[in-house]
Structure 1
Amino acid sequence: MQNKLFKLNTENIVMIGLFLTLLIYPLMTTAYNVLNLSYFLTMVLLSISVSLVWGYGGIFSFGQALFFGLSGYFYAILTMNINNAQFNFIALIIGVLFGALIATVIGYFIFYGGINDVFVGLITLCLAVGIETFLAQTAGPQWKIGNILLGGFNGINGIPTIQMGSFVLQGNSLYYFILLAIIAVFIGIKYLMISRYGYALIAIRENRDRTQLLGYNVPKYQLAVFALGGAIAALGGILYAIWGSYLTPATLNLTAATLPIVLVAAAGRKNLSAGIIFTLIYYWGSQQLAASGNQYALIILGVVLIVVMLFVPNGLIQTLFSLSDKGVSSLYQQLQKNPKKRGALQDASTK
Structure 2
Amino acid sequence: MLSPFDETSQSLVKKYLSQEIYQRLKTRSTVAGFTLEKAIRSGVENVDSAIGIYAGDPQSYQLFSEIFVPVIRAYHGFAQGDVHCAGFSPVTLSDPDPEKKYILSTRVRVARNVEGFNFTTHLSLQERQKLEKTVVAALALLPGPFSGEYTAFDGAVAGGNIFNKGDRFQDAAGINSDFPKCRGGFYAKDKRFRIWLNEEDHLRIISQETSADLAAVFNHLYSGLGALEKSLTFARNKRYGHLTTCPTNLGTSMRAGVHIRLKKLNNNRTLLHKIVDEYQLQLRGTGGENTEVEAAVFDVSNKQRLGISEVAIVSKLHRGLEAIIEAEKNCG
Q: TM-score range by the shorter chain?
A: under 0.3
Larger Rg: 1
Give the structure-1-normalised TM-score: 0.26
| Greater strand proportion | 2
